[in-house]
Structure 1
């Protein structure tokens, strides 16, 4: 009897063990997937973001806390990443979660200030990179192939055009991989037609030049000599093109007001304009890719990972930050984030790419994102703002006073040197 009782006890322990193991597994307590484990106690994560605190909570914070009610945030704004001009800003902020624009992300990556996410992805049962936009991993990895950031959304921009206006003047529609010179030449053909040729945030004299510099990745600073670079031939061509457009009055700054009313032939915009066009439905329209660099037409500047998410290498809460990032990358976050979209963003999940508001946009998505460093990577926001205002003033003066392109060029160079002198003093 004693032997039989011992066997029964052993069997009871064994069965109980199996039941407990099964219970733990079904509850997820033994699950190795890092993104399923939620924090068990209240904790505060410091988030460093280019947004204001209000904007962070509206777009991300409230949504995150609905999933992780035990998490609270201390929000530190980088003021559109302008505060990174101070070398000590990142260190003094002590962030756990880092949200940044792509240029800032690249700097943080190159300085090895952010955590390698590849091990987290490998341990995850829910996040598989091959289910996401293939450009994301390429853009957000370092040269060794380590993934340093993730982006839940990609911003998509293009050139929208009014087919009716083009047809009325028998002008061919804009096509894929056109450069800025070609788009602006099309715009000039609407001079004296009663319609604007091009509307957009870039459609001002200074912004057209800065858009060309940005798209063509023109360097403004000699890294060795620490002085400004001006290719005179290229600058004379830009100046002449822009001054002619100013005289023709074929450009109009705006976010679609003229285009929606049928008074502009083209609109440079992100895809958030599509629902407005669908509601309006007054004319036939099309969209093609954002202007390309003529020497690198396969690269596209109209695709941007606006907010890149990363983990501070010095954070003591890496696991919990990863849980937050993984949740934002999940299918459960697609609609909540999309509902807050104002800048033409779509989810980076492959299942959601290629369509926006029922309109196919594969022709805009199937591009190679241009990640080359631009002029703005070497210069502070303060310099860029002052440089832009100087261009506006000199170009307007050139048109009003009928100056030659050579005169305008010399004035731009002279004033830019003075602005850069202040930039160098600030960094010394």
Structure 2
């Protein structure tokens, strides 16, 4: 098998959203009512905590993202060393010579791997992750405390096994520049709007003033598709072919394109780029609204606020998909029990509260923690924080290289309609054909 070429393809095609973890020595948290290994009816005893074995050392690695030592300390290291003063923690930054395949080849021991959902396919392909199900049962960890789409994703992609637990996730919302609304005397957006309502609001703000072209709304078409609220998948699991010509994807494209057909702005290959659109909102301050799906926030000097991402008429109340980071235990680990203690702590309420206050959103179904999002950062003071956390999230899609290839073709279809003035059906048909060819090439690389 062409492992090196395929792993490189996996990394290159990994979906990256713009803008984008031990033991307490006491009783395990959780009610014990719904764990990875549910207790039998009438059973009330708590399983004995597994004993540590091996050296009190844990090595952690970020497989996909280039995390610095300082970034690791801020996210995990400082909290872990405080919680486990008797454990030696080492972090291996991703760099030339320390890619995940380099570590596998050299036999370097890694205990805990952390990274976004976009890199899970790579880890699965390399068979690096331990099934956490027995450890979840032995440590009596309650899986019901998590936002369930993040757990369902693991079960669905692991044939019932759980090879990672979520540690934090990106927020999503519709940010808006109050100054532009005030300038034109337009009422601010509201929580619970639909995409059709947002389109009408955008029309009121797309205008020229003083020789400046203002735009009502911009977005990342790729991120919006990847985290779509309809729970659409790019690839049909039965046929292995792309589903870009389905009614669902036509719905997404027909919802997105009209914002770019409002008279006034001129869209071309430069202005339609995601970075350029974001600059319209954050730097140029000519875009009134922007949907962000990666947890990023507007500049501190902008007079901004946020409301929920608009809903589809047929899926009211369903927010964008989560984009979680996961913690996995490497099959190379010599001390999986200690490694799980580390994970257990990082998904505990105390750590999740601390991390959420820093602006990395909790993956727990705990409203008291959600309310504390960004509490330690002045830029969130007075903001509509609740809008970032939908009451219900769409089912997570897949993040294989094949899905990423299809996602790229969806963006091409969007560009073909907006810039090339093709109709939606033609653009999606051509995109589906191109995606299927790319998928065949990726699958051939596995052989």
Q: TM-score, normalised by structure 2?
A: 0.61
Aligned to 1:101: 116
For 1:371-410, what aligned pairs fall within 5 Å after superposition? 371-374=395-398, 376-377=399-400, 379=402, 381=404, 383-384=405-406, 387=409, 390-391=412-413, 394-395=416-417, 398-399=420-421, 408-409=427-428
Three-state SS of the structure 2 residue aligned to 1:198 is strand
Residues 13-50 of structure 1: CA deviation (Å, up to 9, x unaligned): xxxxxxxxxxxxxxx99966699999995535354643
Q: Residue 100 of structure 1 contacts residue 308 of structure 1 at CA under 8 Å; is this kept in 2?
A: yes
Would the aligned equivalents of 1:136 and 1:151 in 2 still touch at CA under 8 Å? no
Per-residue displacement from partner, 1:187-217 (whole Å, max 9, x unpaired)?
34433243221244x1xxx537x62783333
Residues 380 and 77 (structure 1), Cα distance of their counterparts in 2 relative to 1, 3 Å cut = farther
Q: Secondary structure at the match of 1:156?
A: coil
1:354–1:360 CA contact under 8 A, matched in 2: no
- Residue deviations 1:233-268 (CA, integer Å, cap 9, x gap): 627736853652597348774546635775322122
Residues 46, 95 of structure 1: 8 Å contact kept: yes
Higher relative contact order (CA 8 A, sep 6+): 2
Match of 2:371 among 354, 357, 366: 354
Partner of 1:195: 214
The structure 2 residue matched to 1:155, chosen from 170, 175, 196, is 170
Q: CA deviation at 1:368?
A: 1.7
Distance 1:148 1:287 in 2: 34
In structure 1, the residue matched to 2:234 is: 220
The runs of 5 or more residues in structure 1 that have no matched partner are 1-27
Find the aligned partners of 1:364 and 1:414 in 2 and give their Cα distance: 36
- Structure 2 counterpart of 1:365: 389
Instruction: Supply the distance in 1 between the matched residues of 2:288 and 2:327 (Cα, whole angstroms).
Output: 38
Equivalent-residue separation in structure 1 for 2:432 and 2:25 (angstroms): 65
Task: Pick the aligned partner of 1:265 from 288, 295, 300.
Answer: 288
Deviation at 1:321, TM superposition (A): 0.8
Aligned residues of 1:47 and 1:99 also touching (Cα < 8 A): yes
Q: 1:413 Cα deviation (Å)?
A: 4.4
* 3-state SS in 2 of match to 1:159: strand
Alignment of 1:297-312 (within 5 A): 297-301=316-320, 303-305=322-324, 307-312=325-330
Q: 2:337 aligns with which of 319, 329, 335?
A: 319
- Helix, strand or coil for the counterpart of 1:310? strand
Distance 2:346 2:153 in 1: 16
Q: Which has the larger radius of gyration?
A: 1
Return the alpha-carbon distance in structure 1 between the equivalents of residues 357 and 317 of structure 2.
31
2:90 is the alignment partner of 1:73: yes
TM-score, length of structure 1 as denominator length: 0.64
> Are 1:386 and 1:419, in contact at CA under 8 Å, matched by a contact in 2?
no
Q: 1:301: Cα distance to partner?
A: 1.5
Distance 1:183 1:420 in 2: 35
Q: For the structure 1 residues 192 and 140, does the alpha-carbon distance in structure 2 shift closer, same or farther, using more than 3 Å as the test? A: closer
SS in 2 for 1:197: strand
Q: Deviations over 1:352-389 (max 9, x none)?
A: 32243334523432512222435x457254x2575367
Shift of 1:311: 3.1
Q: Distance in 2 between matches of 1:175 and 1:248?
A: 25
Which position in structure 2 is the counterpart of 1:15?
Answer: none
Q: How does 1:67-146 map to 2 (within 5 A)?
A: 67-68=84-85, 70-73=87-90, 75=92, 95-102=110-117, 113-116=130-133, 117-122=135-140, 135=148, 139=152, 142=155
RMSD value, Cα: 5.1
1:137, CA displacement in angstroms?
Answer: 8.1
1:345 matched residue in structure 2: 361
Secondary structure at the residue paired with 1:231? coil
Equivalent residue pairs, number: 373
